[in-house]
Amino acid sequence: MTVLITGGAGYIGGHAVLAFLDRGETPVVLDDLSTGSRSAIPSEVPFIFGDVGDTSLLLQIIEAHKIDAILHFAAKIVVPESIADPLAYYLNNTAKTRALLEAAVKGKVRYFVFSSTAAVYGNPNRATVNEETVPAPLSPYGMSKLMSEFMIRDVSAAYGQKHVILRYFNVAGADPKGRHGQSTANATHLIKVAIETALGRRPFMNIFGNDYPTPDGTCVRDYVHVSDLAYAHLLALDQLRLDGVSRTLNCGYGRGYSVREVVEAVRRVAGTNFEVRQAPRRPGDPASIIASNDQLVRLGWKPELHDLSVIVQHALAWEKSCVIRV
């Protein structure tokens, strides 16, 4: 049986592809290349260019490749963009997930692993959030993912499909072997922006808000290495195949760094003192969000790349190698 990875040409999906290959399994990738890149997909991996909302294409793929599990990464992921253009997020992240689920049900796909987000929790007002924390998204992005979560649970209940919903905290870093990393143009994510600034590709960077109720006034996030996260998908799918128990799991390390601490880590690792400007708060930003990851750890998750310096080192190495390749 074969795994289908939607969004496998993208940042997180691409690392999942590598994780499968590293253990000797070849997945199939479906991607519309809207943000991902064809060159990110190793040549031995079957690639289909197409839309996750195209139910008939999906049915063909499921049949042709005997797909028994779908890992659904393809999505739009930028919080401020979702506030400016919510309909794009509800189409891309919610309506297309519905279409994909329909294909999965018609094609009798047994397992569905979904990329959800800590953004479903909104501004939780507690030190850490566990999976029972009542969701209250602050952005259309978080809401678009939460709506998909509800659909997935209803589909499992009605048609017997089994699922794992993984709620990612702040994903960063790059493949330790340098095979893949975050290549998205005009990235808005903190570590990526700070590294681009450190490398002189941006004249300065902004810190959005310094009056949050956090130790240094800047927002606190739980930064998780993308390769540890990719490995969590394999673990979750293996367990799902073993016991058939549907689950919702936080994917974070259970510790937080402020924006200032991240900037200092990038300065230290890159060895440069780039310019940072103070800017107003960014809409949709919770003050602090840190995972309780007990459930994932109980399943056997053993993250190895949790050191913030390691996350930054890998992201920096990837960013430098991108220039060499051009």
Q: List residues with catalytic annotation.
A: 141
Q: How many CB atoms lie within 10 A of CB 307?
A: 12
Task: List strands edge to edge, sheet with 162-168.
Answer: 47-49, 28-31, 2-6, 67-72, 111-117, 162-168, 247-251
Helix orientation angle between 55-64 and 96-106, rounded to the nearest 10 degrees: 40
Among 193, 229, 249, 290, binds ligand UFG (CB under 6 A): 193
Q: Per-residue string for binding with ligand UFG, 97-126, x by CB under 6 A? A: --------------------xxx-------
Nearest to 223 by CA among 147, 310, 97: 310
> Which of the stretches 37-45, 46-54, 148-156, 201-209 binds ligand UFG when contact is defined by CB under 6 A?
201-209
Q: Does 259 bind ligand UFG (CB under 6 A)?
A: yes
Strands (E), 47-174: 47-49, 67-72, 111-117, 162-168, 170-172
Q: Does 29 bind ligand UFG (CB under 6 A)?
A: no
C-beta closer to ligand UFG: residue 244 or 280: 280
User: CA dihedral defined by 314, 317, 320, 321, rounded to 10 degrees?
Assistant: -100
Residue 70, token pair as written in the block: 């779908």
Q: Per-residue string for binding with ligand UFG, 68-97, x by CB under 6 A? A: ---------x-x------------------
Q: Per-residue string for binding with ligand UFG, 168-187, x by CB under 6 A? A: -xx-----------------
Kindly list the residues in this chain that would bind ligand UFG in the complex (CB under 6 A).
77, 79, 117-119, 169-170, 188-190, 193, 205-208, 219, 221, 259, 282, 285, 289
